[in-house]
Chains A and B, each alone.
Chain A
């Protein structure tokens, strides 16, 4: 587990705009993964929604991940068109993925199709939400 202080030192500019959950981030993988897209998706599982403490992946907000020679591209949607946490979420995604030494660049594409609904929450996400007393 990377210490919060270490992350703050590495990314000082990012912290004022960040959401929560950064203390849960794991240490970067030193070796380049065989499947870059899967590895990017795996680290996105550590990025939490700022309002509901489950990952963006389990919330169903990650519509696609592509990885090519160090360039990560993430198709990301939001629960609402006026989600007030958009900037926080994008910042968290960018910072978490950029932590990996095998990632050279991160592109986030904001997508709205298909429209997000609660049906996109994974079963694991639903279970976690129920644990917080939220049904979806």
Chain B
């Protein structure tokens, strides 16, 4: 790995881990209030998976002499690198379903890209994450089809939620920054044309069911912050406090 890549890869890892962590929080909001007991249990299980994946991703930074614990528990909300589509809680169940396909789908492609290349800790851990992600996909796909096929308000809300999430999610998945050029050049992730093609292959047909053509979605990168690899904004403070477990970690006394 080149010196430049060694310097930059940790931020790519944190971008993935933070997004997993916040996605877990957003899924967990639906343990109660989802359409049925079964969907609540699925949301719980998916939240658990996301947090497990985040834990494995954060721990990869030790290979760069960084301390995972500091990244997980000491950063402020405006230092988090999570995908902008997760900054706010999902407004309704249709938004939850849209996020499973649009955002979790993008994360899965980003993981495929990273786990398929030359960084050994990613190669050894990501296959297990992707095996667990397969269940998220099956769940998201089934619900997406169900809402889209039903038409009416459900389909309209699904379409609106997916439309709202896609531009920033594409911008997050396909960052136009020097960091990505370096790590792709070092064969640590796929080149972006392959990432985009894989994402289209994964979500294109489903999005077509709600009349969204991915080719017409313009990636939104906003006021790109190179330190967080995302546009402006941040996950809500409440979500980050929950992700860090602030209130209850303090009961443990020693925070490590």
List residues of chain A with CB under 8 Å of any chain B CB. 80-84, 111-117
Chain B: CB-nearest residue to A115: B128
CA of A82 to CA of B48 in the docked complex: distance in angstroms?
6
Q: Are B125 and A82 in contact (CB under 8 A)?
A: no
Choice from A81, A84, A114, A117 contacting B56 with Cβ under 8 Å = A81
What is the interface residue range for chain B against chain A?
10 to 19
Q: Are A111 and B56 in contact (CB under 8 A)?
A: no
Residues of A within 8 A of B124 (CB): 111-113
Residues of A within 8 A of B49 (CB): 80-82
Known interface pairs A80-B132, A82-B48; A115-B53 also in contact (CB < 8 Å): no
CA of A116 to CA of B129 in the docked complex: distance in angstroms?
11
Question: 22 interchain pairs (CB within 8 A)?
Answer: A80-B48, A80-B49, A80-B132, A81-B52, A81-B53, A81-B55, A81-B56, A81-B129, A82-B49, A82-B53, A82-B55, A111-B124, A112-B56, A112-B127, A112-B128, A113-B124, A113-B127, A114-B127, A115-B128, A115-B131, A116-B128, A117-B131
Choice from B48, B51, B125 contacting A113 with Cβ under 8 Å = B125
Closest chain-B Cβ to A120's Cβ sits at a distance in Å of 12
List residues of chain B with CB under 8 Å of any chain A CB. 48-49, 51-53, 55-56, 123-125, 127-129, 131-132
Q: Are B127 and A81 in contact (CB under 8 A)?
A: no
Chain A: CB-nearest residue to B51: A82
Closest chain-A Cβ to B72's Cβ sits at a distance in Å of 14
CA of A111 to CA of B128 in the docked complex: distance in angstroms?
10
CA of A117 to CA of B128 in the docked complex: distance in angstroms?
9
Q: Are B52 and A82 in contact (CB under 8 A)?
A: yes
Residues of B within 8 A of A80 (CB): 48-49, 52, 132
CA of A83 to CA of B49 in the docked complex: distance in angstroms?
9
| 13 additional contacts (CB under 8 A) given A82-B48, A82-B49, A113-B124 | A80-B49, A81-B52, A81-B128, A81-B132, A82-B52, A84-B48, A112-B56, A112-B127, A113-B123, A113-B127, A115-B128, A115-B131, A116-B128
Chain B: CB-nearest residue to A116: B128
Closest chain-A Cβ to B44's Cβ sits at a distance in Å of 11
CA of A84 to CA of B128 in the docked complex: distance in angstroms?
16
CA of A12 to CA of B55 in the docked complex: distance in angstroms?
29
